[in-house]
Amino acid sequence: MRSAHLALDPDHTVGPIRRELFGGFVEHLGRHIYDGIYEPGHPTADADGFRTDVIELVKGLGVTTIRYPGGNFVSGFKWEDSVGPRETRPRRLDLAWHSTEPNEVGLHEFAGWLEKVGSELMLAVNLGTRGVAEAIELLEYSNIPGGTELSERRIANGRREPFAVEMWCLGNEMDGPWQLGHRSADDYGKLAAQTAKAMRMLDPSVRLVVCGSSSAHMPTFGEWERVVLGHTYDDVDLISCHAYYEEQDGDLGSFLASAVDMDGFIESVVATADHVRAVNGSTKRIDISFDEWNVWYNSRFEQVDKLAGIGNWPVAPRLLEDVYTVADAVVFGNLMISLIKHADRVASASLAQLVNVIAPIMTEPGGPAWRQTTYFPFAITSRLARGRALRLAIDAPTYATGRYGEVPLVDAVATHDDETGNSALFLVNRSVDEEITVRVGVQSLGDVQVVESHTLADADVTAKNTLEHPDRVAPQRNTSVRVEDGVLTVTLPAVSWTALALGRRGAS
């Protein structure tokens, strides 16, 4: 049997785990809002039309900040359409997803839903078809307590207290040719700097995210970040990264190593941001908002082109409804490990997305809601990863991948919470056919025991949860784990993700 060794030391801190690392993303796309979180008439709908079964699942996921309302959608969005009396709100064409947006759920309703699920709002402004003026108008509407035209309009629309939104995205994926209002790095950088300056004049407390690249494989990657930050360095706080992974050409080995790509992406953006800092002679540090990440079968995605036609603009069509396997969830869990490993510079992250659209939660109109395989690594990691991220020394065998060369079979990260004294370990075994025994030196944690263990694996790595079989896949307790003489030993099945919670022996 193969084996790997990890050394864990609570003094080897990477950085604090900010709760925003476990954020989500809700876009007006497909059945995310309509027939997803909002379905008046559903047996579980509350008085506001929101499905309470979905609310409970979102709460269980433990998502902190939720980015809204897009995504590609935001680049054609008029925020004013989404507020005020519902009966007067316009139905609009959404060019990004070739759909009709009825504006039944808008800023107020979504903020109300966030209160029900216990998450915070992160807003994106439209820098595709709009600009500085509309961005500061939305900020005034959202954050000014009262006494001005737009803040009073908010109050008249039923919300006395400001929404007090702290995190703002300056547009979405402006490097992408598919984006409404797509611009060069130079043009976008200038517009983002002007918008950021104006927004800060209105509310200096906002935290601003400038658009980085839509993926590390964009032809402009690297140069985009350098030029955009060259214009905006003093005016923004974070730069975004977006990444989606999928198994291609049946190459499961490469797919399982997707987090290697995410590691490299983060490290390249950090290097570029720090280069601009050096050039500017600045002492300020720009962090990362990894505000779209997931497994997404882009290649299987029912192309929006299929909806083409001047008379064909459906409301809430079924789009991007990927059904996730065990292997997908293992990669997903590994992407979370990568985010935590970079907690010093990844200050915020948003799982894209939440319900029905490349989502951990699925619903059927009039029917049930259920958890996809990816739900479990998110919910468990968000709950257990507290305090500080710890750097592990990993000594593991490697394997050859088509896409990333030689890659360690085991990836892992640990966390430690100084308040409770609890620690957690998150591990993946990327081997497609062999289990691996991992030994972890935990002496420096004191006399600890394993208080929880969860392993997601299956003899059939393509197993999924579906409407017909909603509970086919779930993590199991790992019965192999033990701690003896300061060494934790655990066996990881092939293609598996594992989380272990450690507590001091004798602590309640």
State the residues that interact with ligand AHR by CB under 6 A: 27, 70-72, 172-173, 214, 292, 352-353
Of the pair 64, 214, the CB lying nearest ligand AHR is at: 214
Q: How far is the CB of 324 from ligand AHR (least distance, A)?
A: 15
Return the number of other C-beta atoms located less than 10 Å from residue 146's C-beta.
11
Q: How far is the CB of 431 from ligand AHR (least distance, A)?
A: 30
Give me the catalytic one of 134, 225, 247, 292: 292
Could you confirm whether 166 is annotated as catalytic? no
**Interior angle at CA 110, CA 363 and CA 47, nearest 5:** 70
Q: How far is the CB of 303 from ligand AHR (least distance, A)?
A: 13
Of the pair 141, 265, the CB lying nearest ligand AHR is at: 265
Round to whole Å and give the CA distance between 199 and 195: 6
Of the pair 30, 503, the CB lying nearest ligand AHR is at: 30
Contact between 152 and 160 under an 8 Å Cβ cutoff? The reply is no
Of the pair 180, 456, the CB lying nearest ligand AHR is at: 180
Round to whole Å and give the CA distance between 364 and 473: 19
**Which amino acid does the sequence have at 247?**
E
> Structure tokens of 106?
């808008």
Q: How far is the CB of 363 from ligand AHR (least distance, A)?
A: 18
Q: How far is CA 70 from CA 37, 179, 284, in A?
A: 15, 12, 29
Round to whole Å and give the CA distance between 165 and 167: 6
**Among 117, 138, 216, which residue's Cα sits nearest to residue 175?**
216
Q: Please report the sign of the dihedral spanned by the C-alpha atoms of residue 211, residue 213, residue 219, residue 221.
A: positive
| β-bridge mates for residue 24, sequence order | 66, 351
Q: How far is the CB of 186 from ligand AHR (least distance, A)?
A: 21
CB neighbour list of residue 45: distance below 8 Å, 6 or more residues apart:
39, 51, 52
Residue indicated by tokens 């010093």: 344
Give me the catalytic one of 20, 173, 225, 247: 173
Q: How far is CA 446 from CA 10, 284, 322, 412, in A?
A: 10, 38, 44, 20
Could you confirm whether 468 is annotated as catalytic? no
Tell me which residue has its CB nearest to ligand AHR: 71
Of the pair 228, 352, the CB lying nearest ligand AHR is at: 352
Of the pair 35, 173, the CB lying nearest ligand AHR is at: 173
**Across the chain, which distance is largest between two alpha carbons, in Å?**
71
Contact between 141 and 165 under an 8 Å Cβ cutoff? The reply is no
Active site residues: 173, 292
